[in-house]
Each structure stands twice: as structure tokens, then as C-alpha cells.
Amino acid sequence: MIKYIFCFLLVFNLFATPNASAVNEIPLTYEEITPDTIKLLQEQGKLVEAKELVNRWLKVTESEYGDESIEIVIPLLIASELSIIHYEYKDAIKHLEKSIAVMDKSSGWLYPDYAMALNYLAYCKVSIGDSFAAFPLINEAEMIYYKTLTREYPGYNLCNINRAILNRELGEFQKSEDYFKKSIEFIESRKDIISHSKVDNVITMEWLNIQFAKLYTDWYKPEKALPLLQSAQNSLIAKDRKTSPIYSTLLQALAEHCYLSNNYKMSFSFYEQLIDHRTQHFGETHLATMRAYLGLGKLLADTGYLDKALKYYGLVDKTVSKLKGYNNLKADLYLSIADVYLQKGKPLEIEDYLEKVEIEKTTVRDLYFFHLKVLGDYYFLKGDYINSELKLMELISLVRQEKVFYTKYYSEAITTLTDLFVTLGRIQNAIGLCDSEIRFLKKRGMEVSIVYLDLKLTLLNAQLIENMINEEQTMENIVSIEDSLTRFINPNHPLFIKSNTIKGAISKRKKEYNAAASYFHLAIDVANRHGIDEMQYQRIKIIDQAGAMFIEKNELSSALDEFRVLKGKFSEESVYWPGFLGRVAYVKALLGEWEEARMLAIKGVDMRFDQYDTQLNFKSEDEKINYIHHTSGIFNYFFSLMTRSEGFKSPMMVEKCYDLQLNYRKYFLKEAELRKRKIEQLGKYRSKMNFPYYYEELDKQKSKLATANFFSIKERNDLHIDTYMLTDRINNLEKSIGFAAKANKDSLDVEGYLSWKDVQAKLEENEVAVEIIKLKSINPTEEFYVAIAVSSDCKTPKFIPIGNAKIMENDLFRAYNKETAPRTRSLVYKKKSEKTVNAYDFYWKPIQKGLNELSPTIDKIYLSKDGIYNAINLNVLHNKETDKFLIEEKDIQLVISTSEINKSEYLNNLKNNEICLFGNPIFEGEVSEQATRQVDESSADQEKYSFFLPNLPGTKTELENTEKLFKSKDWKVSTYYQARATEGNIKKLSSSPAIMHIATHGIYMDEMINPILENQLLKSGLFFTEVNSNQEKSLEDIYASGNDGILTAYEVKGLNLKNTSLLILSACQSGVSDISDGDGISGLQYAFSIAGVKSIIMSLWSVDDIATQKLMNEFYNQWFLTNDIDKAFRNAQLQLMKEYKDPYYWGAFVLVH
């Protein structure tokens, strides 16, 4: 700081000192005009006089010698020097091109002045951003010196300097430094010669030090830049060159150096001096002055003085808009103005200035990055997340690919992309991206830069959402950030909007409503001070948080007042709009205004589904799921209304509730199935054309991710696995393949809006379809399970309340587990007064009662589960009144969704007569025939998973019996037992068999240890032989193969099972899923469905080997007898029930279509 104060004082004194050696008169005769007299004028700041003199010199020379004579070259070179030092590169290029054209005709290209002109032209090209055009010019200049005056000639040093500047602009900082040092060494070793040469007139040590310092500023080595700038400053002062153009260059370098060193106050001071200097010596409307205003405007915009920035931008626009050309300057200006309006949340103004940007005519690479950043921010503001992500990811990819050392637009893009990922539910991606950039900036000492503080706030917000840090720690970090903002930047910076919003959200979470309200008011005050519109992202968050707080406080009128601010401001495409409709509907319902509440809730649901048809474009499967989860808030508000009698007594609301469940599932399953089918079609075409099928590479990368997911963090680090880049690469590849296959066009290819009437049309007489739905509520204590039933002749769906979600998922589920647990010989004493709970009475009886009211005679029930019902086999529920299990009383067929009722596909239309048998893998240890299949995770520590897997001798008999039976029926049987029962082999299957039977250990994990990706499909899977055989392989080989012996549901999606009508998962817990998801589909069930399987038999608990063997063999026998999969499975369970009355033995498996 002392050094900067020293510089400032010197500059101040310089401006206050009179020029003692000013030239009082301009030479009037032609003979008196020389390069030295022109240089003297420009050092005195007499730009107009110098230009007049050069123009007179050119005219007289042309008149005396002709406009193509060799004598005209020197005045042209001097004219170009004058233009270059005053940043008039367009004029300089015109002079240089003319001088080169003259020399081409009169002297030829080996004339040494030709080399000088080429060097000047190369410098101009670099200065206007056309760096690559400079390479051949410098090469040619070097060749001329080499062939004429040697490389020892003083003029050759211009080539060294140009290469130094060129490499600096290209980001090749080490090469640039080498050339700068080489040029300085060249000067030092030839002082006597150079002092009498033309080069000494053109290139001064002050100018060279300034250029060298700029390298260190760009390279983030401020400690090396400042001494060079001080040296240049001291020398210029000593030589009394305070009015020279070089001093203007120095002031600009100091302003930029202070800005990039985060010393914003000193940067502001130098910019003011620079503007005064250029106004006085260049002119008020000179382009160099305009560039100074633009630089000051950018500084003001970054430091939060938005209106002042617009004022200076306006001054520049007034001058520049009148000029032809200058595309770089105009683009920089208009993008800067648009960037300010982005901060203000003004989309119309942004559009106006973006239309003025002709980016294709620019030549500066950083402007292209700036353009992508502004476009990405603009689309984010508009809620167009697809294009926002495309633009921001293009920027990030280009910067990484081109190895750009630093551009602030990259860091700013990371900030927006992090907010975007948080909005889309990709929190882990957001945290990884943000954390990486923060570490990069910290290494470069940028802890008090604006972009660093913004990124820190953004990261804290994402970590808070994921509960990775506690509220107290977050508050402390925010206070520290605010302190830095106040001390180093601006006590009223717009970042205080974000910091106070987060603080308000924390206080709201802690029920400290007064503190929350205070923080929200502070945020709004800052926003109003800067004229930031309600549509700006942070203001929307404030309104959302404040409204939710008033709802919690039951201050409903105040909540409505908050939400009304946004009335009429959203477009139909805005991702925020359905959620706000839901919030208003919820408040209206609480106020008793039910007619309007119902209308708004239905409108919000319909709008969200319409948006899914377009906003799921260009998303990978994982991103799609996260996006749907994160934008499902409107559905929760709708369900909240359905938990109240005013909601479920409305036929219109009940119909919409049924439709909601159908369509919500559609986007999880049908869209994914169709996407995969389209990609496979593209793959066939590409294979036919002998082009690579990229989907295979995608599957390999997914397998690597799933494998690394089970590694410890240390193991991942040892293999140098960049987990962020791995997931990013997978998402990008999947999106691009899907886009190429046009599988993203949901609105064109996926069946349209599904209605309960579509389901009804598939039902026959005495058949009903039942959707079990977990009604998630804004108030978790009000969450409720219901069933909605449709018969073939009902006029409206039947709404059936079942029970409170919390009770059904906890106390009642424990009672159910007791009923299905294996009996032991231990004696448990119970008090006679203890009440027994019958699961049937709570999980089925309410449904049955409602069905009886709907239709007196029901022969078949098609049922789709949700929530806790995914963990329950309804068939094992025992009716104490009749002393029968539900399987004995009702014919229930499970479907993923009642929209999936398709009787013709249920194993009656087989694509082939092939069956593939996988099982009896080789694991560690031997166990008795009575052992159950289960995974012991008790030895797992915090670093890595550890599994104890006993062998499964019972599966040998199960599979061999199946093999024998199908061979006797002339089926083609493929077997993969023992060492061949590998994950690799199941992935390499050349064809899709009609039936696949897998008998092994299954796994489901409630929580993953240090997961790479928070994906539910990584929680469930199947074990194969590699779990044991890989012990002899290196970690690197296992990762490279992607086959660790755990086939996760994440990998299953990529299998080709499109012709597989039935899959038997004879594995423990293969049907278990996270019941809190609400998607109603278990991991393996969902994944195998996308792979192409039509029907799945899977288990809900650890299974007895012998009972499983008997069930499967009986099922196949029954199927050959009946040719009906549902009858066969039901008959097999009933038959096994005769031998094993306890449902533990016969009821673990369920069949789902």
C-alpha cells in the first residue's frame, strides 16, 4: 500500500510541475521536418500539431517524389509510429500497408525498412486482437534481418519485443518472459550501438518496462510488476515526460495492475488521472480517452457502482456509436452495458444491447468469452436454463481447452453456473465446480477480489442446502465476507443482497423470524439502492424466502403481499412461475378462498408439465432426474391442498391428482426408454456407415464412475481421478448423443398428456386401476397416503384416504416387518395388555373399503405403488377376519404406472426362445444350505466399503433345474455360472434373451460413503464374481475395466435388453428403494425397465435359498402350463404357501410390469 501511495504522490506532483522545455514553435519549412521534431511534439502532448506536421510531410514528399517513391516510406513509418503511440491502430495499419506496397514495387521485400514495417504491423495486429496474423509478419521480419543486416542489428530487437508481447497476449507467459528478458539483455549488451539507432527513438526502456510489467500483471505476479512500473515512472518524471503518450500508457498499466491486484481504490485513482491526461493531450472524444472511460466504467460496475458505470458507458457510446468499424471496442462497450443491466435484472435493456454486438466481427478472444458469459447470464435471468448452461459450459470448455491462464469471465461463469446447478438440483456438481475455482483464485492471492467473494457466498449457499456446514459456521463466514466487501470494495456492493438473503434463510430455518425479516429488508434496501428489478435472481429468492416465512408464521396476508410483487412478471416459460402459483394457491386455501386456490394449483401443475416438454431438452438422464426433483415444488403445494377435505372432495382436483401421478412417472420412465431407443437407432445407422457408436464409450465411462464410487478417497487420489471432470464428461456426452438422436424432443416423441380416462379405456369389466400416492405436504406432519381408483365405468376417479405418512413409514412398517420376519426358537415374553397391530388393517383395509364403494365386483386390480408401499408385498398381508392372506382373496397385478397396463406384452409375445442364466458366482467362504442371502456391512469404515459375501450353493440347484426344464422345451439356454458369472459378461451379452434369470447377492445402501455422485441408482446393485477375482488385480486395472463385480442400477440402464420380456432377480433386496424419493420406482426396477425389460420379478427382503429355488422352479412349470405370467407367479406362491405357511418363505418376491 505504501508503494501505491508513493506512486500516486509522484503522479500528482508530475501534473503540478510546469514543462520547462516546451517547444514554442512548430517548424514551418519542409527541410526542418524530421522524426525528431515530431517525436518532440508528441512527448509534449501536442498530438494535433504532430499529426498536422506528419500530414504536411507526407503531402510534400508525395508532391516532390511521387506517391509510390521509396522516399515516402519514412514519413509513412513515422506516421504509423505516431498513430500506434496514440492507440490509433486503424490509421497505423493503413500507413504501414501503403509503405509495404511501395517497397514491394520499388525496393523488394529484403529492404530493411520492410522488416521495420512488418514489425510495426505485427504489433498493430496483436493490439487489435488479431494475434495469429502477427506470427507470419514477425517470421518474415526475422528472415529479412537474417539475410541482410544479421540478428545483431538493433532493429532485430523489435522481433524479440513483438514475440514477447504476442506470447503475453496468447497466455504463453513463460515464453513471453523469456523474450522480454532477451530483449532487455539485447539492449544492455549493445547500449552504444542502440543509443545512436532508430530503435532507441522508437522503443524506450520506460515503454519496454511498462509492457514487461503488464506481463506480470496478467500472470498474477504483482510483486514483479510493481518495480518495473515504478522504474518507468521514476524515469519519465526525471526526463520531464509527464505529457508524453508513454506516460498515458503508464497510468493505464498502473490502473489495470491495481485492479487485478484487487486494490480497487488505487485503480480508481489512476483511472481518473488517466482520463484527465488523455482528455488534455489526446482530446475529450479521442478513442484512447473513450477506452479509459470504458476501463473506469468496468471498475465501477464490478465494485457495485452500477449507475455511475452506466454514466461513463453512456459517454463512450455517444462517441463510438458514430464511428464505422471499431468492432472490438463497440462489442466490449455493449457487453459491459448489458452486464450492468444483468445485475439490475432488466431483460429488455439487455436484449437491446446484445442486438448491437457483432461478435463475429471481433478479433479479441476475451470478447468472445465475455459474450458467452453475458448470454449465459441473460438466459439464466430469463429462466432458459438449457441455453444458459450451453453458453456457460462452452465458455468453460474453451478456457480449459485453450489453457487460458485467467479470465474473469470464466470465474463469473462459474458463479452463474453454480447458481444454475443449485436451481436444477445438481448441488454436488455446483459445490465441486465452485470449490475448484475458489482454490484456483486463492492460490493467486485473490481472496479480496469481487469474483472470489461472490464465489464464496455461492459455495456457502450450496453447502448449506446440502447440510455440509452448520448455520453458525455459515454465519461466521458470511460476516467475514461482508467485512472484506466493506473494507476493500464498497460498503453498499450488490453482493450484500446475496449475503443478507442467505443470512435471512438461515434465521428462517432456525425459526428466528424477526432476524430473518431484518436480513431480508437489508437485502431489499441494497437492491432498491441499485435499482435492481424484482425479476433478478436474488430478489426472487428474497421474495420466496420472505413469503415462506410469513406462511410459517401464519401471517397469510403478508405472504400474499410478498408474492403479489411478482404478479404478471413471469412468462409461461419461466421455471419460477409454477412454483409461485403453487405458493399463492396454498395461501389462498389457508385463507379459505378455495375456488381460486384450486384454479391456481391446477394451472401451476399444467404449466410445469408443459415446461418439462421443452426444458428437458439437452439434459442427460441424471440431470433430468435432478431437475424434475428440484422443480417439483408445485406438486407438493398441490398435494398439500389434497390433504384437506376442500381439496379431495373436488372431482376436478381428484382427476388432476391422478393425472399428475401418471405424468410425473412418464418423465422418469417413458422418456428415458424412448431416449434409449432413439439412441440405439442412431447407433445402428452409424455402425452401418462404419462410424463409431459413442454410446458404448458412454457406457464405459459410466462403468468407471460406478467402479470409482466404491473406492476410498485415497484410492481415487492415487489414480488421479478427477471426479468432477468424469461426471461432467458423462453428462456432456450423453446430452450430445441424445441431442443428435433427437431423443430430447419430449413434446414430439413422448406420448402427450396422460389422463385417467386413458387408463380407463384399457380396463375391462370388473377391472380397476389403483394409484397409491404419497401426498407430500408443505407441512411434513400432514403428509398422507391415499389411493385413487378408476373402474371401467366410473364417471370420476374414487379418492380413498389411507393414513398418515409418518405413522405408516415408521410404527406400522415395523409391525409389517414382524409379520414377515423369519420365526426363531427364542422365547420373547410379552405382557398380555400389549396391543397387537395387524398391517392388513392399515395398509389394505382402507383401500378395500373404497374399492367396494367403487364397484361391487372386482376380478382384477392393477396397482401402482408409491413411497412405503414399495417396501411392502401386499400379497402377504393377513386378513384376520377371513384368516386368509391377500393373495388368496384378490388378484393384484403390480405395474410401474397404471398408464403401463398393456396386457399383450406380459410374456405372451416373446421375441425369441432364448433364456440366459446368470448366477452362483464365486465369493469368499462356504456356508450351509440354510443360509440367507444378505450383505454384512458392519465392517465398513468411513474410508471404504467392506462386504462379506457367502457363497450361494442353493442357486446352483435353482439354475440347473431351470436349465434342464427349458432345454426340455427346446429353448436355447445360455449359462454363466461360477467364474463366468461376471459383471463383464453380463455387459457383453450379444443379444437380448426373452428371459433372463440372475441369482446372486443384491445390495441396497441407505447412505453412500464419500459418493462421487448423489445418484439413487448407485445405491442398489448386484454382486458378481469379480468381487473376489479382482483381488489379484491392481486398482488401476479394475478402474480401467469398469468391472468391480458390483453391477449398479446406474450401469444397468446401459444394457441392451430390449427383447427381454421377463427378468428374474433371484437376489436379496433387489426390489428395495429409498421410500422417501416419491418416484415410486426402485433403483434396479427403474434401470432394467429403461434397459428394455417388460416384466420383473424381484425380492423385498433377504431370501431363503431353498424356498427361492422351489418358488422359481414352480413358477417356470406353471408358466409352461398356463402361458400366463401373472397366473403362473400367483399359482407358484400359492403352491409354496402349502409347504411354508409363513410369508417369509413365499412372499419375498413381487412381480411388476
Per the listing, cell 510534400 goes with 60
Q: Residue 166 — pLDDT band, cuts 50, 70, 90?
A: very high
CB 1065 within 8 Å of CB 1084: yes
Task: Output the CA–CA distances (angstroms, integers) from residue 720 to 680, 714, 944, 1035, in the order listed.
Answer: 33, 10, 17, 12
Residue 474 has a pLDDT of 92
360 phi and psi angles, rounded to 5 deg: -70, -15
Decide if 534 contacts 569 (C-beta within 8 A): yes
Rounded to whole angstroms, the Cα distance separating 376 from 372 reads: 6
Examine the pLDDT at 366 and tell me if it is beyond 60.
Answer: yes
The residues near 517 (Cβ < 8 Å, ≥ 6 apart) are: 504, 546, 549
Residues 6 or more apart whose Cβ sits within 8 Å of residue 344 = 306, 530, 531, 532, 533, 536
Length of the chain: 1153
How many angstroms separate the CA atoms of 1151 and 1144, rounded?
Answer: 16
In the 8-state DSSP scheme, what is residue 781?
A: G
Phi, psi of 322 (to 5 degrees): -85, -15
| pLDDT score for 562 | 86
Between helices 621-630 and 670-688, what is the axis angle to 10°? 160
Alpha-carbon distance of 71 to 99, in angstroms, equals 10
Q: What sign for the dihedral angle of Cα 82, 85, 88, 93? A: positive
Q: Is 19 helix (H, G, I), strand (E, B) or coil?
A: coil
Report, as an integer, the average pLDDT of 587-599.
Answer: 94
Strand partners for 878: 885
Mean of pLDDT over the chain: 84
How many CA atoms does the CB half-sphere of 1115 hold within 13 Å?
Answer: 25
DSSP string, 897-923: SGGG--GGGSSSS-S-SEEEEEEEE--
What is the C-alpha separation between 665 and 612, in angstroms, rounded? 12
CA-closest candidate to residue 676, choices 265, 1054, 223, 1079: 1054
Render pLDDT for 509-549 as a digit per residue (tens, 0 to 9).
999 999 999 999 999 999 999 988 877 778 888 888 888 89
Which tens digits make up the pLDDT trace of 866-910? Answer: 888 988 899 999 999 999 999 999 999 998 889 888 765 555 567
Which of 658-667, 829-838, 1054-1063 is the least confident region?
A: 829-838
How many other C-beta atoms lie within 10 A of the C-beta of residue 344?
A: 20
Distance CA 627, CA 662 (A): 18
Angle between helices 408-424 and 427-443 (to 10 degrees): 160
Task: Quote the pLDDT of residue 1079.
Answer: 55
Pairing type for strands 1062-1067 and 1095-1099 reads parallel
Least confident of 98-102, 140-144, 955-959: 955-959
685 band by pLDDT with thresholds 50, 70 and 90: confident
**Percentage of residues in the chain with pLDDT exceeding 90?**
43
Amino acid making up residue 290: M
Total-model pTM? 0.75
pLDDT given at position 1078: 44
pLDDT given at position 484: 94
1106, 1097 contact by CB (below 8 A): no
CB 254 within 8 A of CB 206: no
Lowest mean pLDDT among 583-592, 780-789, 939-948: 939-948
pLDDT above 70 covers what percent of the chain? 90
Q: Which residue has the higher pLDDT, 9 or 439?
A: 439
Is pLDDT above 60 for 748?
Answer: no
Tell me the pLDDT tens digit for each residue of 371-402.
999 999 999 888 788 788 889 988 988 888 77
Exposure of 869 in the CB half-sphere (CA atoms within 13 A): 30
How far apart are alpha carbons 492 and 835 in whole angstroms?
A: 65
User: Any bridge partners for residue 1095, and if so which?
Assistant: 1062
Amino acid 194: pLDDT: 56
Predicted pLDDT of residue 1015: 78
pLDDT band at 201 (very low <50, low <70, confident <90, very high): low
* Choice among 242-256, 289-303, 538-552 with the minimum mean pLDDT: 538-552
Per-residue pLDDT at 830:
41
**695 has pLDDT over 90:** no
In 3-state terms, what secondary structure has residue 1046?
strand
